[in-house]
Amino acid sequence: MAFGGKKENPIDIAAQQRAREQAEIEQEFLKGITTLRDLIAPSSLEIHGGYFRLGTKYCRTMYVYAYPRQIYTGWLSSIINIDEVIDISMFVYPVESQVILNNLRKKVTQLEASMNINAEKGKVRDPQVEAAIQDAEELRNQIQVGSERFFRYGLYVTMYADGLEELNFIQHKIETILGQQLVFSKVASSQQEQGMNSTFPQMSDQLQIRRNMNTGAISTS
């Protein structure tokens, strides 16, 4: 008695072969189709330390690293409405309230200890320390009752120009507008590629330069 494996049906083998050939034809066809990425891609890209070139345009990305103690509604409108070609990206990351409460508790303890030490040494009371304690206590109370939440906030600006001189002018213009509101920015030196990607509409925060903000401050942006 002879034993052997079941032979495949010749019809099935032919069908599989036709399916493979059809898949290969479709793949070759798709390679020749112009995609959206092809349509919007620049003719060239050059990355430098303090700027990058996108086709014929000179570009530079900046990030905001410092904010004043209080910030007011519409503070960003001057940048949004500036008569220049720019892209602005904002990234908002919620932070667990308990983490913030623990940090605020430690901060208040440190500030109070510093104030007590200065008082024992006979030094004049520092109004900035007292204001910091008051702000921390007020924020802690608001978080505890749920009227405030805490976030990590990143703000990036990419500007575009026809030459380096114009690019420097636009940078100075933006820095001046922000500086008048005690909002300070820096060029993303040696991180221009990450800055470029962070301001493209792809929801990718590659710079990851963030500052703490509560609900009230976030809402002003």
* Nearest in space to 156 (alpha carbons), one of 90, 76, 57: 90
Residue 207 pLDDT exceeds 70: yes
* Six token digits for residue 124: 């004049």
* 21-25, 33-37, 84-88, 196-200: range with lowest mean pLDDT: 33-37
> What are the extents of the domains in the chain?
43-95+150-219, 98-144
Mind listing the pLDDT tens digit for each residue in 101-157? 888 788 888 877 888 887 777 777 777 777 777 877 877 887 777 777 888 899 999
Tell me the pLDDT band of 199, cut-offs 50, 70 and 90: very high
Residue listed under structure tokens 């380096």: 164
Q: Which residues pair with 155 in a beta bridge?
A: 90
Residue 7 pLDDT exceeds 90: no
* Six token digits for residue 57: 């345009």
What is the pTM assigned to this prediction? 0.69
Q: Which amino acid, 211?
A: R
Mind listing the pLDDT tens digit for each residue in 50-107? 999 998 999 999 999 999 878 888 899 999 999 999 999 999 998 887 877 888 788 8
* Nearest in space to 82 (alpha carbons), one of 62, 107, 106, 54: 62
> How far is it, in rounded angstroms, from Cα 56 to Cα 72?
38
pLDDT value for 166:
97
Chain-centroid distance, C-alpha 132: 27
CATH architecture of 43-95+150-219: 2-Layer Sandwich (3.30)
